[in-house]
Amino acid sequence: MASGSSIDVLGQFELHPVLGGLGEAIRLSQSPVYMVIACALVLAFMFYGMKPASVVPGRFQAAAEICYEFVRNLAVDTIGPEGTSFFPFIFALFFFILAGNYLGLVPHSFTFTSHIAVTFALAIMVFVLSIIVSLKVQGLKFFAHFMPAGAPVALAPLLVPIEILSFLSRPVSLSIRLFANMVAGHVMFDIFASFVIMLAGLGFIGDVLAVGPIAINIALIGLELLVGVLQAYVFAILTCIYLREAVAH
Amino acid sequence: MRLPVSLIRRSLLAGVSGLPLIVAAAPGAYAAGMPQLDFKNPLVTGQVIWGGIIFLFFYLALRNWALPKVETVLSNRHERITGDLDQAHEAKMEADKAVRELNETKKAAAAQAQAHLDSVLAQEHAASAQRLAEINAKLETEIASAEANVAAERKRAMESLRPIASDVAESLIQRLTGQAPDRASVDAAIARASVQSAH
């Protein structure tokens, strides 16, 4: 968003209370509203897709089934047979992030996955879940994972802190990966869009030159569509890998 | 179960590269501008609570309602397909059985026909052999009777030959010696000679 000649690329991430004073009191910004829209879209997609519930699916039903089977295979192939019980969680996680990423690509909308608070909360949820599952399945043997099997005992004072650090860095890396990708994409949109407005002030030659940033932004939409699904996939598959590690004996 | 090394390296790298952002989150960094890092803003932290509630409802709606619906449709389809496959399998088994029965019937009919043919042939063989035997027997009796006739004729001829021989011998002796021989001794000599020549 350009105000005058300066570029304010970060204004798009600002939160505003909705419903006026009530929203301010209950800390309700546009971000949770978009979360509700994203979840409603996913649920509506599943509802209308599966409404015919026919043996030979139509296009819409086939799409809903593909989504189901894609995430199910992801969960079961990665986690193993225990993946079935985690499948609804992985499905919710994947489509929550995917819908958030894609909803943010709609002009004038808001990307809740561009907020570190949201992505970090999701990552902590995954982290805590994996620890709970680990402790439940493996008991105290869970702590043995911090000493790599087969490594010399003499190296333990070095290896154990590294393993603990790498374990603790999981939620950080998981959340920052998604957050940084979303922020970077939307900042780039804003920068190139601002270029168009700035070039418009140069008269005819500016109008001609402005085609460049517009073309770049069109290409960026394509890239962001890829990044949106890729980041959701990465988040989901890393969650699956952490859970596989948790359920492994 | 351990993570692949590449994954550890990647997550470490991401963690390290994220460090500046954590540093930036320190008080005062908000002046640099990122609204996401303004944790003093209640709306930023409010997202976590709202997000938690929304995600929980989303998860429950998916787990209890949307996903079982897909599961039902998929398992119905699976059952239908395996049912149809079983049916097709059964139909094929029946067809195979019918073909097998047909082949058996064909084989039995061929065997019966062959047996019939064999029996007819055997009968025919027996009949012709019998006819041949009858003809042979008839021919043999005819041959035997003919032989008997010939022997009788020969005997009669031989018997009628002896008086002629006696007469010839008597007249020869009379011419040679000039006196008539004793008829009885001539007959005896002829009989002796004919017995010798008969041997």
The domains of chain A are located at 2-247
Domain ranges, residue B182: 152-198
Q: pLDDT tier at A176 (50, 70, 90 boundaries)?
A: very high
Q: H/E/C letters for each residue in chain B? A: CCCCHHHHHHHHHHHHHHHHHHHHCCCCHHHHCCHHHCCCCHHHHHHHHHHHHHHHHHHHHHHHHHHHHHHHHHHHHHHHHHHHHHHHHHHHHHHHHHHHHHHHHHHHHHHHHHHHHHHHHHHHHHHHHHHHHHHHHHHHHHHHHHHHHHHHHHHHHHHHHHHHHHHHHHHHHHHHHCCCCCHHHHHHHHHHHHHHHHC
Q: pLDDT tier at B3 (50, 70, 90 boundaries)?
A: very low
Tokens representing residue B179 in the block: 């006196």
Among A125, A231, A89, CA closest to B67: A89
Chosen for mutation from A9, A176, A187, A243 (greatest number of chain B CBs closer than 10 Å) is A176
As a whole number, mean pLDDT of residues A172-200 equals 91
Q: What is the pLDDT of residue B22?
A: 45
User: Given B66, B88, B110, which residue is the final one in a domain?
Assistant: B88
φ, ψ dihedrals at A50, nearest 5°: -95, 5
Q: What is the pLDDT of residues A35-49, one digit of tens each?
A: 999 999 999 999 998
Cα separations in angstroms, A203 against A195, B80, B95 = 14, 68, 84
**Contact A185/A191 with Cβ under 8 angstroms?**
no
Question: Given an 8 Å threshold on Cβ–Cβ distance, is B46 in contact with A28?
Answer: yes
What mean pLDDT value characterizes chain A?
89
Residue B113 lies in a domain: no
Provide the ipTM: 0.90
- Check whether A148 has a pLDDT greater than 80: no
Q: pLDDT tier at A132 (50, 70, 90 boundaries)?
A: very high
Residue B166 lies in a domain: yes
Q: Same domain, yes or no, for B10 and B84?
A: yes
* Closest Cα in chain B to A248: B1
* Closest Cα in chain B to A18: B43
**Contact A180/B21 with Cβ under 8 angstroms?**
yes
Nearest by CB to residue B43, choosing from A17, A65, A149, is A17
Torsion angle, alpha carbons of B91, B93, B99, B100, to 10: -160
φ, ψ dihedrals at A47, nearest 5°: -65, -55
Residue B135 lies in a domain: no
- Check whether B19 has a pLDDT greater than 50: no
Q: What is the pLDDT of residue B147?
A: 94
Q: How many domains does chain B have?
A: 2
Residue B137 lies in a domain: no
Q: What is the pLDDT of residues A93-126, one digit of tens each?
A: 999 999 999 999 998 899 999 999 999 999 999 9
Residue B78 lies in a domain: yes
Which residues of chain B make contact with A91, given a CB cutoff of 8 A? Answer: 62, 67
Q: 3-state DSSP helix/strand/coil percent for chain A, to nearest 5?
A: 80, 0, 20
Q: What is the pLDDT of residue A151?
A: 78
Q: pLDDT tier at B10 (50, 70, 90 boundaries)?
A: low
Residue B109 lies in a domain: no
User: Given B70, B88, B106, which residue is the final one in a domain?
Assistant: B88
Q: How buried is residue B25: exposed, middle or buried, by Cβ count under 10 Å (0-12/13-18/19+)?
A: middle
Q: What is the pLDDT of residues B159-185, one digit of tens each?
A: 888 888 888 888 888 888 888 788 888
Q: pLDDT tier at B5 (50, 70, 90 boundaries)?
A: low
Nearest by CB to residue B47, choosing from A31, A43, A88, is A31
Q: Is B31 left (phi over 0), alpha (psi -120 to 50) or beta?
A: alpha
Q: What is the pLDDT of residue A88?
A: 94
What mean pLDDT value characterizes chain B?
83
Q: Does A189 touch chain B (CB under 8 A)?
A: no
Tokens representing residue A89 in the block: 């969680």
Query: CA B30 from chain center: how many Å?
Result: 90
**Contact A243/A130 with Cβ under 8 angstroms?**
yes
pTM of the model: 0.70
Amino acid at position A82, single letter: E
- Check whether B96 has a pLDDT greater than 50: yes
Residue B194 lies in a domain: yes
Question: Given an 8 Å threshold on Cβ–Cβ distance, is A245 in contact with B1?
Answer: yes
Q: Quick one: which H or E segment has residue A72?
A: helix A59-79
CA distance B24 to B34: 9
User: To 10 degrees, what angle do helices A116-138 and B42-61 make?
Assistant: 50
**Contact B53/A36 with Cβ under 8 angstroms?**
no
Residue B174 lies in a domain: yes
With a CB cutoff of 8 Å and minimum separation 6, the contacts of A50 are: A61, A64, A65, B66, B69, B70, B73
Secondary structure (3-state) at A110 = coil
